[in-house]
Amino acid sequence: MKRIFLPFLTCLAFVLTVSSCAPKAYDGIPLVILETDMGNDIDDALCLALAHRAMDEGRLQLLAVGCHKNCPTAAPFVDAVNRYYGHPEVEVAMSETPVQEFSNYTDYTAVAMAAGFPVSKIRYPEPVQLYRRILSEAKDGSISFVSVGFGTTIAQLLESEPDEISPLNGVELVAKKCKCLSVMAGSFGSKKRSEYNVKNDIPAMQKVIDMWPVEIILNPFEIGGHVLYPASAIEANLGYSTLNPVVEAYKAYKAMPYDRPCWDLLSMLYLLEPELYTVSAPGTLSVDDEGYTYFEADPNGRHVVLFDTFDQAITLKERLVEMTMCHKKLVAFDLDATLSAHRCPVEDANLRLLDTLTKKYEVIMCCAGTCSRVYNQMGQYPVTILGNYGMQESHIVDGEFTVTREEIFPVDTAYFMEKTNYLREKYGYTEYYGAPVEFHETGMVTFGLLGKAAPIELKHVFDPDRSKRRVMYQEVCELFPDYSVYIGGSSSFDFSPKQYNKYDAVMKYASEHGYTLSEILFVGDDFGDGGGDSHVRIKGMDYVSIDDCTKTPEKLSFLL
């Protein structure tokens, strides 16, 4: 068959919806290397976000991201995104021979880091060597490449010579270890076009198309133009509660609001849900010296081209939004200083907030206090409670408050009294109201510097910035090495056995009820070191920090 320039609007005679071209995941999920010109168009950032969300759901494993844009902030930006999404182990590479380009949005990285997106690396490895190492260590036929930029680095990989990493040259190594290349490149529309990713390094893309020894799935320019990512999803912060570097980059790229084509995302999505596309019969691709793309149908060819119908474009958009948004299903609340002042009734506005949230999410309480104390302080609001950092659990059963689980640990009360008396003498808290130490039935302990029976108004003004207790904190921890120690309440230290904390309590409940980590949001006020909510922050659960319990509905408006 003669070589043809495949017009997008008249090509349907050449295409079929087929399943044989679908990438078959290795050990259940695709293993992916992403090659990107991060910093040119914003769809690269959203493509990376999509990969991370798929990782959260256990549908994909991102091994590495290689950057080839001539921009010093491209690799640090990718690193920041990896860390924000909780996957710092994903390796980041930066080409030593990058393609010169001028558009950029990753310059905002300095602002992102100031907002708390850490980047630990200063120098990044060269991608060809990194790719050769990953491939050499991989099982045969297990790696999928996703290319959403120029062909520069992949061409260099194919041209690489045997070395100390592998006795195979680049083509041989790819043939042995790779499953496919899903690439965003080319154009087959009614208007002849030298597509952006091709024309910026035509010789490289020619080599990629000619030399890549296994399947190539080409995602052309036209599909992305049909699938626009909505500004509304960005304005909702992609469903996250904290500043998201991908969202901030999207805002920096262009004045909001704007919808943007999903060119690059579609190449990643194909690895996950190939059935959403129309796929050509097999054939052979080629690129001419002006950057135009051609396709010859050939039953023995190893290349296919993706297309979409009108209905498929709508579905692709819906799936991309759904898969890039972080959809919370379980919202866990602290009580004191989050929904109420310490040991005070819950604010009416916060009770109304709970009423609204429970229509959309499962809502639970996870607190330092006992289940019964929390239940009564909340005016007997019907909600599941994880008390004493997870040592207790209560539900409303047949309309009645019921403690359904309670784990009790013996406490050496004499030791606690001896050491807390020592601390009182040393730091000057020898006068107090009521019992000096409260021993809970579960084995959790509260050491109130003002005593158990101190007036609430006195507790509220005693140590609002926690500076009095922070002076003592390290020594308290050293005296009680078998316990997690928290700067609790307004004037006390809380002690729980090491295996109990709010993160583990919520995750235990979540695993029993079918929720993943990415589907959980924790709302609290005390995430600093030594705080009752600190394990939530340290272990990487999404959270919202409340600094004024009267503002909680406003802080959580994004959930509504």
Please classify residue 37 by burial: count the beta carbons closer than 10 Å to its beta carbon, then call 0-12 exposed, 13-18 middle and 19+ buried.
Answer: buried
Cα 10 to Cα 189, 206, 315, 422: the distances in Å are 9, 25, 22, 86
The pLDDT value recorded for residue 189 is: 87
Contact 31, 138 (CB under 8 A): yes
DSSP-derived 3-state class of residue 306: strand
Confidence of residue 86 (pLDDT cuts 50, 70, 90): confident
d(CA 544, CA 522): 6
pLDDT digits (tens, 9 = 90+) for 13-62: 333 333 333 444 455 799 999 999 998 899 999 999 999 999 988 899 99
The pLDDT value recorded for residue 118 is: 55
DSSP-derived 3-state class of residue 238: helix
Q: Backbone phi, then psi, for 216, in 5-degree steps?
A: -120, 130
The pLDDT value recorded for residue 105 is: 73
Contact 249, 85 (CB under 8 A): no
- Burial call 94-109: b when 16+ CB within 10 Å, e when fewer: bbeebbebeebbbebb
| In the chain, where the domains are located | 8-324, 328-560
Nearest to 134 by CA among 172, 165, 164: 165
Confidence of residue 236 (pLDDT cuts 50, 70, 90): confident
**pLDDT exceeds cutoff 70 at 110:** no
Length of the chain: 560
Please classify residue 230 by burial: count the beta carbons closer than 10 Å to its beta carbon, then call 0-12 exposed, 13-18 middle and 19+ buried.
Answer: middle
The pLDDT value recorded for residue 56 is: 86
Written as six digits, the tokens of 445 are: 């302990």
Provide mean pLDDT across the span 186-199: 92
Beta bridge partners of 184: 219
Strand-strand pairing, 228-229 and 260-261: antiparallel
The pLDDT value recorded for residue 295 is: 96
The domain 8-324 belongs to what CATH superfamily? Ribonucleoside hydrolase-like (3.90.245.10)
In sequence order, which residues have a C-beta less than 8 Å from that of residue 1 and are 6 or more positions away? Answer: 296, 297, 298
Contact 33, 2 (CB under 8 A): no
Contact 262, 230 (CB under 8 A): no
Residue 195's identity, in one-letter code, is E
Q: Which residue's structure tokens are 């730091």?
A: 427
Contact 50, 89 (CB under 8 A): no
Q: Which residue's structure tokens are 């805002």?
A: 251
pLDDT digits (tens, 9 = 90+) for 200-234: 999 999 999 999 999 999 999 999 999 999 998 89
Q: What one-character-per-residue DSSP string does 77-106 give?
A: HHHHHHHHTT-TTSEEEEEEEEEP----SG
d(CA 529, CA 479): 18
Contact 453, 434 (CB under 8 A): yes
Cα 20 to Cα 24, 214, 301, 335: the distances in Å are 9, 14, 13, 54
The pLDDT value recorded for residue 5 is: 36
pLDDT digits (tens, 9 = 90+) for 489-546: 789 999 999 889 999 999 999 999 999 887 899 999 989 888 899 999 988 888 889 9
3-state helix, strand, coil in the chain (%, to 5): 40, 20, 40
Contact 542, 242 (CB under 8 A): yes
**What CATH number does the domain located at 328-560 have?**
3.40.50.1000
Nearest to 220 by CA among 259, 262, 253: 262
Torsion of CA 422, 428, 431, 437, to 10 degrees: -40
Angle (CA) 195-200-202 rounded to 5° is 80
Written as six digits, the tokens of 73 are: 């902030």
The pLDDT value recorded for residue 34 is: 98
The pLDDT value recorded for residue 311 is: 95
Provide mean pLDDT across the span 57-85: 90
Contact 224, 263 (CB under 8 A): yes
The pLDDT value recorded for residue 237 is: 86
φ/ψ bin of 416: left (φ > 0), alpha (ψ from -120 to 50), beta (otherwise): alpha
- Burial call 518-537: b when 16+ CB within 10 Å, e when fewer: bbbbbbbbbbeebbbbbbbb
Residue 522's identity, in one-letter code, is F
Beta bridge partners of 73: none
**Beta strands of 157-257 (E only): which ranges?**
178-184, 215-219, 228-229
285 or 11: which leads in pLDDT = 285
Please, what is the average pLDDT of the chain?
89
The pLDDT value recorded for residue 191 is: 87
**Beta strands of 302-442 (E only): which ranges?**
303-307, 330-333, 362-366, 384-387, 392-397, 400-406, 437-439
> Which 8-state DSSP code applies to residue 12?
G
